[in-house]
Amino acid sequence: MAARGGARGLSLVLASRSPQRRAVLEQLGVPFVVRPADVPEDAIGPPAALALEHALRKARAAAGDPAETVLGVDTVVALDGEVFGKPPDEAAARAVLTRLAGRTHEVHSGLAVLHAGQERTAGAVTAVTFRPLDAARVAAYAATGEWRGRAGGYAIQARGAALVRRIEGDYLNVVGLPVAVLVDLLPALLQPAP
């Protein structure tokens, strides 16, 4: 799948199926192609390290031509050292949301860029505080299906925004692609093409 973008100095291969990551790149006007990579994702370990390792695995799996610039991204949610990935079903989504209710959790993203024969990685973390949620509110949100394919079982850019009391850090990190970190890794991303 190819996405149109503005005239920029760099084109990306995005190693992700995430519609949120595609939307962020499109908003930036960055040309990219989507080349999803299915890689094993661990659930045990330090959240920041897991996100970075998963991102690097995705970038390596999607790499083709050495001249390409490949971006791998992974996001995990952590609370009290426990990592929450994408819930497999609605019951699991309700259980995760119940655990996060009224508490502050961390959203960790890892980014890995393969460019010009080099691998570069960086991470971002954002603290997200949920409102207290009763069982009925959790069930109503889970019934929307927004939890599908989302770490922590919610989408802050959609109806999940109503679950959140506040965030500390990068909002786009919670959406799935911390732009500030991406631009630090790839300054050419936002430079006009010659």
CA distances for 105 relative to 14, 38, 128, 161, 167, angstroms: 27, 26, 5, 15, 10
Instruction: Label residue 17 left, alpha or beta by phi (over 0 means left) and psi (-120 to 50 means alpha).
Output: alpha
Q: What is the dihedral of CA 26, 30, 36, 41, to 10 degrees?
A: -90
CA 190 to chain centre: 20
Place of tokens 């499109």: 26
Choose, from 65, 74, 134, 184, the residue flagged as catalytic: 74
CA 178 to chain centre: 8
- Is 74 a catalytic site residue? yes
DSSP 76-103: EEEETTEEE---SSHHHHHHHHHHHTTS
- Phi then psi for residue 12, to 5 deg, are -110, 155
CA distances for 9 relative to 45, 167, 191, angstroms: 37, 33, 5
Show which residues are catalytic: 74
